[in-house]
Amino acid sequence: MTKTVNHLKNHRPLYFAIGFTLVFVLYISLVLVPFSSCYRLYVGSNSLGLSIYNIEMVQSFFQARDQAQLFCYSQFLQLWDVIFAVFSTAMFGSWIVYFFKNKRLLLVAPTVLGMIADWSENFLELLMLKTYSNSGAISETLVSLGSGLNIFKLTMAGLTYLIIFVGIILLIKTFITRPKRV
C-alpha cells in the first residue's frame, strides 16, 4: 500500500499533465469547436487571434459576418476562449513541471504570460467589435495594440513549445543514458 502511495506521489506531475491534456482535447472537441461554429465562415479567416492583423483584415473579418455572427463571436471571446486559455495554460504548464521535475518553475512563465496576452487581446477585440457595431469604424490604435498582443502571445506559445521540446529531449536522454537494471 505504501509503495503504491509513494508511486502516485512521485508521478503526480505526470498524472496532472495527462489529465489536463485529456481535458484540453475534450474541451476543444466538445465545446470550443461547436460554440465557434456560429460565427464560422467557409471562406476567409475565422479568428483574428491566430494571425498578425491590420485594420483592413479586422474590417473584412467584421464585414463578412452578420449581427448574429458578430454577437456570437463576442460571446465566444468573453467565455469560451477565456476558458480555453486556462485549460491550455494548465496543460502546457503541467507538462513543463513534469519534464523539469518542479526544479525550474519559472519555465512556466511563458504559458502564463501567453494566457494573459490572449485575455488582453480578447478584450481589445471586444472593444473593436463594439466600436464597429456602434459606428462602423475601428480604431487603428486598438488594432495595433491587439495585433501587438497577438504577436507577443504567439511568441510565448513558440517559447512554450520550445521548452516542452527541450524537456522531451532531456527525458529521452535521461532514459537512454540511465543504467540498466539487472
87-106 pLDDT tens trace: 999 999 999 999 998 778 89
Residue 7 has pLDDT above 70, yes or no: no
- Report the alpha-carbon distance of residue 155 to residue 163 in Å, rounded: 12
Q: What is the arithmetic mean of pLDDT over 24-53?
A: 90
* Domain assignment of residue 142, yes or no: yes
* Domain assignment of residue 50, yes or no: yes
- Report the alpha-carbon distance of residue 125 to residue 58 in Å, rounded: 9
Residue 86 has pLDDT above 80, yes or no: yes
* Domain assignment of residue 126, yes or no: yes
* Mean of per-residue pLDDT scores for the chain: 91
* Domain assignment of residue 80, yes or no: yes
Q: What is the arithmetic mean of pLDDT over 10-23?
A: 93
Please report, as a single letter, which amino acid is at residue 26: L
Which comes out higher in pLDDT, residue 12 or 1? 12
- Report the alpha-carbon distance of residue 158 to residue 164 in Å, rounded: 10
Q: What is the pLDDT of residue 182?
A: 61
* Domain assignment of residue 182, yes or no: no
Instruction: State which residues form the domain around 125.
Output: 2-177
Look at the chain and report how many structural domains it folds into.
Answer: 1
